[in-house]
Amino acid sequence: MKYARLVVALALIGLLAGLGPHVLPEYWVRVLIVLGINIILVSSLGLSNGFTGVFSLGHPGFVALGAYVSGILTLELTKKGAYLPDLPGFLAGVQLPFLPATLIAGVFCALVAVVIGIPLMRLSGNYVSVATLGFLVIVNVVLVNAEQFTRGSRTFTGIPPYTDLGWVAGWAVVTLLVLSRVAYSPLGRAMRATRDDPIAAQAVGIHILPARLMAFALGAFFAGVGGALYGHYLVSFSPATFYVAMLVQQLTMLVLGGQASLTGAVVGVSAITLLSEVLRNLERGFSLGSLQVPAVFGASQIALGFIFILVMVYRPQGLLGDRELPLVTGGRVAKGAGPVYKDTVGGGRT
């Protein structure tokens, strides 16, 4: 029964990805692509921020690394000569297809996450947030200075436009499947235990560092994959694309949907994406009968901010809190037996 639902959901997504580009206007295909990429990015952020309580601010750093790694690996050789003439030999001669490049980008990010995570995941609370923010700043500075790899602050362009709805839908499903398997497994319970009460968790034999590191690295892997997809969607970007503005957007989507819920991440991303598209089109001005509303650019950001404040006042735990669709937990968590979600960092009322 539970597999039947999963199959139906997968079939629907497959149908959407397969038929979408032929039936939907290109504008909606693009909105769905960005929506799917954000689902990958935000749900992977949720694994560390929501499930393990390590409130990371470094996520866009991994997205950036993923985009640049995959971009460098897939760039046509002639373009490589023109845009990145100083690439070291072993990179100058490679041109990989999309899938391997995406996977390498993800693995590279996971490795970086392990290396920086070993010292950082020992920290908790605000300290780990500040430290991961430091990581984001370092990535930005490195990208700006590593000119032979990234063109520095100049726009990295000429990347093949591989990303389409099929790739994004496929990776979003893989991301959600893997994350839900991990989050609602014994390992996931260990992650939540280290979040809710580290001392009690240690007392029952859970090692805090491996549990957190696992969440951080897995999150980084999918951030890298999402970054690769985003890079091949935009086809040109610069280090500034993956900085504070992106961080704020991801955190907003995550916190709005509910940090400790994969369903919440999907809801948060969908709500903000659709709302900002609707508002963006409204702010261009419209006419209601005889009433002419002029264009007020910037109004959409104000309205979004206001809605966000309202949600935080009335539902500080986010729209879904830590509730999940049964589909996500796969029946591995008994109804009502979910963890008591207490957010100690992220701005909830505790």
Min dist. Cβ of residue 238 to another protein (A): 6
How many residues are listed for the chain in this entry? 350
Residue entry with tokens 């830590």: 322
42: its two tokens? 């935000």
Nearer to another protein, 283 or 343 (CB): 283
CA–CA separation, 212 and 192 (whole Å) = 10
Q: Is 31 in the site for another protein (CB under 8 A)?
A: yes
Q: Is 309 in the site for another protein (CB under 8 A)?
A: no
β-bridge pairing 291-293 and 286-288: antiparallel
Please identify which residue in 2, 5, 154, 207 interacts with another protein, judged by CB under 8 A: 154
Nearer to another protein, 104 or 144 (CB): 144
Please identify which residue in 103, 137, 240, 312 interacts with another protein, judged by CB under 8 A: 240
340: its two tokens? 């008591």
Residues 259-288 that bind another protein (CB under 8 A): 277, 280, 283-284
Please identify which residue in 87, 103, 155, 339 interacts with another protein, judged by CB under 8 A: 155
Q: Is 144 in the site for another protein (CB under 8 A)?
A: yes
Min dist. Cβ of residue 48 to another protein (A): 24
Cβ 136 vs Cβ 60: under 8 Å: yes
First to last CA, the chain: 38
Distances (CA, A) of 77 to 87, 158, 180: 11, 11, 39
CB crowding 63-72: b at 16 or more within 10 Å, else e: bbbbbbbbbb
Min dist. Cβ of residue 273 to another protein (A): 10
299 alpha carbon, distance to own chain's centre: 26
Nearer to another protein, 5 or 30 (CB): 30
336: left (phi over 0), alpha (psi -120 to 50) or beta: left
Stretch that binds another protein, among 19-27, 101-109, 221-229, 261-269 (CB under 8 A): 19-27
Please identify which residue in 85, 93, 119, 161 interacts with another protein, judged by CB under 8 A: 161
Q: Is 2 in the site for another protein (CB under 8 A)?
A: no
Stretch that binds another protein, among 9-17, 148-156, 215-223, 262-270 (CB under 8 A): 148-156
Min dist. Cβ of residue 208 to another protein (A): 37
Nearer to another protein, 207 or 284 (CB): 284
Q: Is 306 in the site for another protein (CB under 8 A)?
A: no
Distances (CA, A) of 273 to 98, 140, 253, 304, 323: 26, 26, 9, 11, 21
Q: How open is the CA angle 341-346-348, to the nearest 5 degrees?
A: 60
The phi and psi torsions of 287 (rounded to 5 degrees) equal: -120, 130
Residue type, 170: G
Stretch that binds another protein, among 117-125, 172-180, 205-213, 297-305 (CB under 8 A): 297-305
List interacting residues with another protein (CB under 8 A): 25-27, 30-31, 34, 144, 152-155, 157-158, 161, 233-238, 240-241, 245, 277, 280, 283-284, 295, 297-298, 300-301
